Structure 1
Amino acid sequence: MADVNKLVFSIVKFLKDQTTQENLSEDSIESLEVAIQCLESAYNIDTQDESHIARYQVQRNLLDIFNSQISSEPESEFSTLSLHEPTPEEKEQAEKLKNEGNNFMKEEKFSDALECYSQAIKLDNKNSVYYCNRAAAYSKLNKNIQAIEDCERALNIDPQYSKAYGRMGIAYTALMDHESARECYRKALELDPTNQSYQNNLEIAEQKLKEAAMQAGFNMGPMGMGNMDFGQMLNNPALMNMAQSMMQNPNMQQMMANFMSSMSGGVPYILFCVGKGPGRSKGVDGKVFILLSRGQQLAQQMEQTNPELVAQLRSQFGRGPPPGSDPGQQNGDNEPPK
Structure 2
Amino acid sequence: MVHKTLIASIVRCLSQLLEEDDLTADSRESLEVSIQCLESAYGVQAANVSSNFDILKIFKSIQSKSMQIASHEATLEDKETSEKLKNEGNLLLKSEKFHEALIKYTKAIELDAKNAVFYCNRAAVHSKLGNHYQAIKDCQTALSIDSSYSKAYGRLGLAYSSLNKFKEAKECYEKALKLEPDNESLKNNLQIAEEKLFQIQPEITDTGRASNIVPNVDLSSLLSDPFLMNMARQMLSNPAMQNMMSNIMSGHAEQGERMDALIEAGQQLAQQMQTANPELIESLRRQINESPSDVESTNKKDL
Question: TM-score by structure 2 length?
Answer: 0.47
Computing the radius of gyration over CA atoms, which structure comes out larger, 1 or 2? Answer: 1
